[in-house]
């Protein structure tokens, strides 16, 4: 609750910063559908039908989703092309048919800009108590099921530089702490990562972006808690992301876009007594499609869909089946922009 108040405070304080510049903010409402909220594998769908306690309080595999978002931007200093400004965000998500999947997230950016596409930015993000599903608490027994949730604290620094008249690039370094709620603290991870991104504006079409990221996750509670901490969950990760935005020459819509994102994760465990992680890797692919339409000068609607497929490889066939899944999501988001300038 204290973190919740902190994020709200960060958003509200934007309107009281010293510069006599307008506060620009956006309110968004999203409705959507997720056909596999807990990311069950094909085999698990059959097993859970016989053991519904695995789903906690949920009664269905799928769910309708409602989200409320608030974002704001405030410039606090400017001189010529130079400017310092802050961005804040807050989001609340509620899964109607999965009562335990209620969570909030928020963030704050501080940016110093000295020209067009020339800036350095510090970012802070928080994801609060994101529920995955019920897992067996092996510290207690091989049958005791408990809800498993985690929180993220993510910090990064990004440097952006213009490339010619129609391109720009950015480099980022970040540190993500993913810590799990009791009784699954043996899952805790410290993740360091580096990211590079190149953006290219194509005349009369739109923009194309390519992003590449490398990271390492260290299981910081490995062998430091109870029975289940003997399993090493550390891994190496590599991800690439390719979004294409068409913003010219299209009727009715402001933007049509699609993207591909693929992450390869390789676990470091080599202990034969840990078949769940030893020698395991996976390819997690996400395919997105979206349509954007301006309803008025200050209101827009976005329709989007995502297909996600995780393919796991392991020396153990049951691990391959257990950790592979498919997921389909659809979203409709309406946003309204506002400007507050009464000083």
Each residue's pLDDT tens digit, 61-74? 999 999 999 999 99
Q: Tell me how far apart the alpha carbons of residues 280 and 234 are, in angstroms, rounded to a whole number.
A: 11
Give the pLDDT confidence of 287-317 residue by residue, as tens digits: 999 999 999 999 999 999 999 999 999 999 9
What pLDDT does residue 14 have? Answer: 53
Structure confidence at residue 231 (pLDDT): 86
List pLDDT tens digits, range 83-111: 999 999 999 999 999 999 999 999 999 99
Q: Write the DSSP string, 2-43.
A: HHHHHHHHHHHHGGGSSS--PEEEEEEEEEEEES-TT---HH
Measured distance CA(273)–CA(87) in Å, rounded: 47
The number of domains in the chain is 1
Q: What percent of the chain has pLDDT over 70?
A: 92
Higher pLDDT, 145 or 112: 112
Peptide bond before residue 183 is cis, with ω within 30 degrees of 0? yes
| Per-residue pLDDT at 41 | 96
Local confidence band at 118 (pLDDT 50, 70, 90 cut-offs): very high
pTM of the full structure? 0.93
Give me the half-sphere count of Cα atoms (radius 13 Å) on the Cβ side of residue 243: 16
Q: Is 2 exposed, middle or buried (0-12, 13-18, 19+ CB in 10 A)?
A: exposed
- Higher-confidence residue of 7 and 322: namely 322
- Full domain range(s) for residue 29: 2-340
* Lookup: tokens for 70: 């608030």
Give pLDDT tens digits for 212-243. 999 999 999 988 776 666 789 999 999 999 99
Q: What is the CATH number of the domain that holds 264?
A: 2.40.160.40
């Amino acid at each position: 609750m204290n973190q919740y108040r902190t994020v709200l405070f960060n958003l509200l304080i934007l309107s009281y910063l010293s510069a006599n510049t307008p506060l620009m903010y956006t309110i968004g409402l999203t409705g959507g559908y997720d056909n596999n909220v807990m990311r069950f594998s094909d085999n698990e769908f059959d097993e859970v039908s016989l053991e519904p306690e695995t789903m906690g309080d949920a009664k269905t595999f799928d769910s309708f989703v409602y989200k409320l978002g608030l974002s704001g931007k405030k410039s606090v200093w400017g001189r010529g092309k130079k400017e310092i400004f802050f961005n804040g965000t807050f989001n609340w998500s509620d899964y109607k048919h999965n009562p335990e999947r209620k969570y909030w997230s928020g963030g704050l950016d501080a940016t110093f800009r000295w020209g067009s596409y020339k800036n350095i930015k510090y970012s802070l993000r928080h994801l609060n108590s994101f529920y995955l599903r019920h897992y067996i608490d092996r510290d207690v027994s091989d049958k005791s099921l408990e809800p498993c949730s985690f929180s993220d604290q993510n910090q990064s620094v990004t440097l952006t530089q213009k490339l010619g008249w129609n391109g720009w690039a950015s480099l980022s370094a970040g540190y993500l702490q993913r810590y799990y709620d009791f009784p699954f603290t043996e899952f805790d991870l410290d993740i360091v990562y580096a990211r590079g991104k190149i953006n290219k504006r194509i005349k009369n079409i739109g923009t194309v972006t390519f992003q590449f990221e490398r990271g390492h996750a260290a299981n910081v509670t490995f062998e430091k808690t109870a029975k289940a901490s003997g399993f090493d969950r550390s891994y190496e990760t590599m991800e690439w992301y390719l979004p294409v935005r068409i913003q010219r020459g299209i009727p009715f819509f402001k933007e049509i876009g699609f993207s591909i994102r693929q992450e390869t994760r390789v676990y470091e465990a080599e202990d034969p007594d840990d078949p769940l992680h030893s020698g395991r890797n996976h390819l997690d692919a996400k395919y997105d499609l979206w349509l954007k339409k301006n309803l008025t000068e200050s209101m827009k609607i976005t329709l989007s869909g995502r297909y996600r497929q995780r393919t796991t490889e392991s020396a153990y066939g049951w691990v391959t089946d257990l950790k592979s899944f498919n997921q389909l999501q659809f979203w409709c988001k309406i946003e309204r922009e506002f400007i507050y300038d009464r000083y």
